[in-house]
Structure 1
């Protein structure tokens, strides 16, 4: 899962990247092809820890989120613009966006700043859809459905409405999934504030504006979080409690992303490795198999499934079978959060 960090140059987005990944921000102005810095967030998971312990696994593989921070490109930046025009092409294939706005100097509403960012995503989508519509109108073999749908999308975008607010049919999703519309992507407004206000609720006006645009708000003190990562667990716990925060921003963001993206976690476990896998809620056992490896999905026979709570209570495969908690499921079984799965397949 790839998540891009975008924002105005003064918002502190690279400090946010450092706070979430523990890696230093980009220094200097790299060439366009090298503008992205990648960092991994390993998702803390007590269920995976228990599976590793009970199976005696030699290896533990948690879910990982990939964050991308992009170096500024001031040569392309237009006066009054929050984003440089070369950025949209770099972020269209990402799964979600973090729109970073700074609130450390002025604790007032941040709505104007994140609305400006969102408007630029909308404009980029309008430009892309308009150019595509021009080609479709010239192509006699193009479908009427794509043409009429593009016209509808352009009306929404021209009115300043992000595409994440629009309910798309399955047919529309199939046609436009490759477009990578930016205002369609799940997006969080990350309010980068000072530590004194990090635990307080966002401004009501900001929350209302975010809701009308299909955005979620997330507050963090990036400088504080960067320093926090260098401390021991006990020191972190004490400082977080003093600041009125329940957990580091990294853990809180993962929880928020899972909720916003509609994800669950399933597991495969044994002596070689204990592995956590992200999966879209409502996905089937066959889709879970494909998440592990396409060959497993291709040869799918059936899945052996046990819920995590049952396994945690019984603590071994043998006792799970004795208690009748191991289920044999077909390819259409809808996966549940915490399922531990072993897939029988033919090579």
Structure 2
């Protein structure tokens, strides 16, 4: 083995060790505030470390908003929360132009006032309560990291992450998210109830005084270095091929689809699903201290990445078939 090869391997090991140490510090910061929810925290970290957006689904009181605020605090990011309501307008999200003073020796001119979307982490709270035209105000920002207002385009600062929340119980007065917008979220992260021991710890922690957010464990440049490291991880061809086969098998018109998919699925996951499976697998590998993802990493993230991308038909609803059951069938059948 040449000296250059040994040096490169040592450098890779050093970067991997630094990555693991920094992410562990973030995990510990979040657990200072959030009790339990280990899987949800890891999935949210995967979204953040890949520059992707997340949709949090759970009943009220499970620390969805608290986790997002703690994440922004731990990363030292500029944070904004938008409470989505039926009367919320697109300009309330993106910003607006109004008549103001121009520069010296100039008359009145239109001045842009940035909206809350101009942050590093945007919490779209109860996103399905706003009308579709307001929901769509986030699309350009999520897809292209920019906002267009009054014929002008304004870039958003990197990093930029949208985390939206939904209540799965109460559907009165809500609007379903369009498939195009659902596809922009890397993961649909489900929050479950805490164990009795965890709930007791939550009660004691939240009734003893004000909640203190964690201190910033990273600065902006340090986070961007971690994100770039995830993106630079090489992907074996078999891992990319497996992700493509999983998504292809979820499409009922595809030759690779199994009988259950043809019977119960209207639309399957598109290419963005394959991309996100590979991105998340890379992040999972680094989080586990490995320098390359495996097919098992893809399997681990298949549920949260694919369940909101598989659109079931009326027959599935009648037979009580869920998207997760379709995914479990895919993982069993796709080799």
Q: TM-score, normalised by structure 2?
A: 0.25
User: Relative to total residues, which structure has the larger helix share, 1 or 2?
Assistant: 2
Larger strand percent = 1
Structure with max Cα Rg: 1
